[in-house]
Amino acid sequence: MSLKKINSALISVYHKDNLEPIIRLLHQNGVQLFSTGGTQKFIEELGIPVVPVEDLTSYPSILGGRVKTLHPKVFGGILSRRDHDGDKAQMKEYQIPAIDMVIVDLYPFEATVASNASQQDIIEKIDIGGISLIRAAAKNFNDVLVVSSMEQYQEVETVLKDQKCETTTNQRKLFAAKAFDISSHYDTAIFSYLNSDSSISGFKNSTRQSKVLRYGENPHQQGVYHGDLEEIFDQIHGKELSYNNLVDVDAAVCLIEEFEDETAFAILKHTNACGCATGKTVKEAYMKAFEADTVSAFGGVLITNKVVDADAANELHSLFFEILAAPDFTEEALEILRQKKNRILLKKKTNLTTTKQFKSILNGIIEQDRDLKTDSLDDLKVVTKRATTSDENNALLFASKICKHTKSNTIILANNGQLIASGVGQTSRVDALRQAIEKAAAFNLSLNGAVMASDAFFPFPDCVEIAQEAGIKAVIQPGGSIKDKDSIAYCDDHNMAMVFTGTRHFKH
């Protein structure tokens, strides 16, 4: 494909790191440079000739720098079609020089928002001239090369060096696509800031980082992760994370973040906890979690909220698991755990900050707030004659945390600090309860004195009847059924305690 020579370039950037090699390459190849403000000064300090944009437009920078490049002599030079007779005639008539390359790096709007700056400072970081230059140059990619971010500097430097400041149409088209990626993301960030109260309906979400996965949920499906995983985790050992790994890790993180002050450990399979416990140490919490289901733990995703030490690592090492996530690992623990080359070890650096969830359905998208409500002691309303004890309250709140993060319909059976068994993703709540009871029996775990948590209300008293017969002494549920009184009456007749929270925790 034929090459097009760059004869002139307009450079106006916020970040100037790694820009110098590009400027020197352009200068060495006889490219005329136009610039403004701080970028112009930067080029001049390199001892390289540069034409101020003010000299081109015969107009000064005005309004405190808000208007510098918004002028026909700038945008005419960028947007003119080089093979269009009418454009060529007007360029000559108005003495507008062609601009063959535009290098822009936008004001850091997102970083300014993240810094908790004042609204005035944030608004001033909405780039107007820069975004206009990017869009104009990208639109006219047949004739103009656009560089729209500092992250492209190295790539464009290679192109300029290898091709002596000449570019192909395909190269310019690729950089144009990148430019619209930059501009659309930038505009979405501004919209999200100004529409923080969601007064304008519509779905807009943008992330520029992505990673192609080996495959999706199954080998015949393609998969991509969009986002910055390194913001949350450092992967310090093991094979590449898969689509299913990421889904499970997300579920594990959501669950473990329910436990702030206690040492907690959870084991998950297919996004559901098959083991979860608290303890004085990571080792103790793991061993209690493992006890709930020693079969499903095989190949599971493990997570804790405390540093993994050698004692815990020695115990964990005997189990085959896919992933272990923790805030940190001691060197001794790493020496033990790294003995399995494919075992994935993740260092969790921060908590999740997202407050929304969305997914594609029916050729569209549904969006909702994340369920950030954690049942607390203040939420518990005793509805039975027998009040819950302090230990029962602790056990009920522990069970509720797990229940919130388990697929509906779900029943959680637990004691204070240990998941005993769960019924997961059943079409009826009775089936979920029976599944949990059968699991507890399969692993020889007693339910005498245990508690039960349900993600939604009981439409009939059958669940409390079955639970009481299995040894359950206290129940936590949202309440709200027209037949709540029947469940309450059964509990009263059998000295069971039951509390309502008023909050349902469906998870589909």
- Per annotation, catalytic residue among 15, 16, 88, 139: 139
- Residue 123's CB is within 10 A of a number of other CB atoms, namely 14
CA distance 21 to 58: 30
- Per annotation, catalytic residue among 15, 185, 270, 340: 270
Helix, strand, coil share (%) of the chain residues, nearest 5: 40, 20, 40
- Residue 124's CB is within 10 A of a number of other CB atoms, namely 16
CA distance 200 to 193: 12
- Residue 2's CB is within 10 A of a number of other CB atoms, namely 6
Whole-Å CA distances, 335 to 330, 345, 368, 415: 9, 12, 43, 34
Q: What is the DSSP letter of 55?
A: H
Conformation bin of residue 487: beta by default, left when phi > 0, alpha when psi is -120 to 50 = alpha
- Residue 31's CB is within 10 A of a number of other CB atoms, namely 18
**Alpha helices, DSSP H, located in 366-410:** 390-404
**270 has catalytic annotation:** yes
CA distance 328 to 305: 9
Pair 161, 194: CB distance under 8 Å? no
Paired tokens of 308:
């993994």
Those residues whose C-beta lies under 8 Å from the C-beta of residue 495, and which sit 6 or more positions away, are: 386
Pair 213, 289: CB distance under 8 Å? no
Catalytic residues: 139, 270
